[in-house]
Amino acid sequence: MNIALVTCESLAQYAAPNVEDEDSLLTRYLREQGHTVEPRVWTNPAVDWLRYDVVVVKSPWDYFDRVEEFYQWLDRMETLGVRMLNPVATVRWNANKKYLLEMQQAGVSIVPTHWLERGSSVNINTLFDILGSDELVVKPAVSGGAKNTFTLTKQESAVRQPQLASLLQHEDFLVQPFQPEIQQEGEWSLIYLGGQYSHCVLKTPKSGDFRVQHYLGGGIEPREAPTHLRRTADAIVARYAADCLYARVDGVDANGELLLMELELIEPFLYLASSEGALARYEAGLAVNL
């Protein structure tokens, strides 16, 4: 296969000394299997996307900083008829976290969420009552890498009010009750390749933090997915990502139930080095989806 691996201009800010660069790992493996793999920056207008058998969206980790440009790029891929994985329509749908609202309305259990529209005004104190929590997590509706994501307590409301008001001038946000399970146990990530379950990791934040990303000091522990979490994640992927090369279901185990935090279908880190055979399953997923 002649493969374009979609990336961005720089991945340096997401690197961690104890975690191998996944793009390099995947590129090396696929080349060893006889494929031609070329990293291609999505913002480079000179790239001829039609010369590839498939365009694999791997690490465009700046799309949330230039989302309108990203949508235009997706439109171009669609117009050209490029074979893209994950599919263009899925990537477009998944770019804005309001997809969670659609999933919730369809019966998926998500972390309770209150939506804040761009340009709206909000009294922070009312958010604690709406969500029934003394601690909240605020994040943009289009984001990645924990950008502009922070916790909020009642004691901080007066100080944080101007910050939130300023952020809302630029984009939509969502607010959720802080999930103590993240610090008590961790956040579960179940990874699917070619529509089939592949492997699972438990991510834990460093002491005093709530963010689990490895480049922010979080820990990664390969684990077998608990049966009850796996059952829910299987159903989510079957419904929303059956035609995807990859999917990552992120959530917490709340009283024996998977509460979905995010369904990652654009550019998730897939922890391919954490599970024997994951790279081969990734390659097999490529063939299944073409």
What is the per-residue pLDDT across 194-246, written as a single tens digit (0 to 9) for each?
999 999 999 987 666 665 556 556 788 999 999 999 999 999 999 999 999 99
Give the CATH number of the domain where residue 73 resides: 3.40.50.20
Where is the domain boundary, 146, 177, 208?
A: 177
* Percent of the chain clearing pLDDT 90 (strictly above): 74
In a domain, residue 104? The reply is no
Where is the domain boundary, 128, 148, 177?
A: 177
**Banded model confidence at residue 38, pLDDT cuts 50, 70, 90:** very high
Question: What letter would DSSP give residue 110?
Answer: B
Work out how many domains the chain is built from and give that number: 3
Regarding whether 144 and 67 lie in a shared domain, the answer is no
User: Does the pLDDT of residue 19 top 80, yes or no?
Assistant: no
Instruction: Name the H helices within 81-222.
Output: 88-94, 99-105, 124-131, 157-167, 181-184
Where is the domain boundary, 95, 125, 146?
A: 95
Regarding whether 148 and 219 lie in a shared domain, the answer is no
Regarding whether 150 and 189 lie in a shared domain, the answer is no
The pLDDT value recorded for residue 23 is 95
Regarding whether 187 and 158 lie in a shared domain, the answer is no
Question: Residue 130's domain spans which residues?
Answer: 114-177
> pLDDT tens for residues 62-75?
999 899 999 999 99
The pLDDT value recorded for residue 149 is 85
Minimum mean pLDDT among 99-113, 167-181, 220-234: which range? Answer: 167-181
Distance between CA atoms of residues 248 and 239, nearest Å: 14
In a domain, residue 102? The reply is no
The pLDDT value recorded for residue 12 is 72
Regarding whether 197 and 173 lie in a shared domain, the answer is no
* Cβ atoms of residues 139 and 96 within 8 Å: no
User: Does the pLDDT of residue 17 top 70, yes or no?
Assistant: no
**Banded model confidence at residue 48, pLDDT cuts 50, 70, 90:** very high
* Phi, psi of 138, rounded to the nearest 5 degrees: -115, 135
State the burial class of residue 235 (Cβ atoms within 10 Å of its Cβ: 0-12, 13-18, 19+): middle
Regarding whether 262 and 215 lie in a shared domain, the answer is yes
Regarding whether 232 and 169 lie in a shared domain, the answer is no
In a domain, residue 103? The reply is no
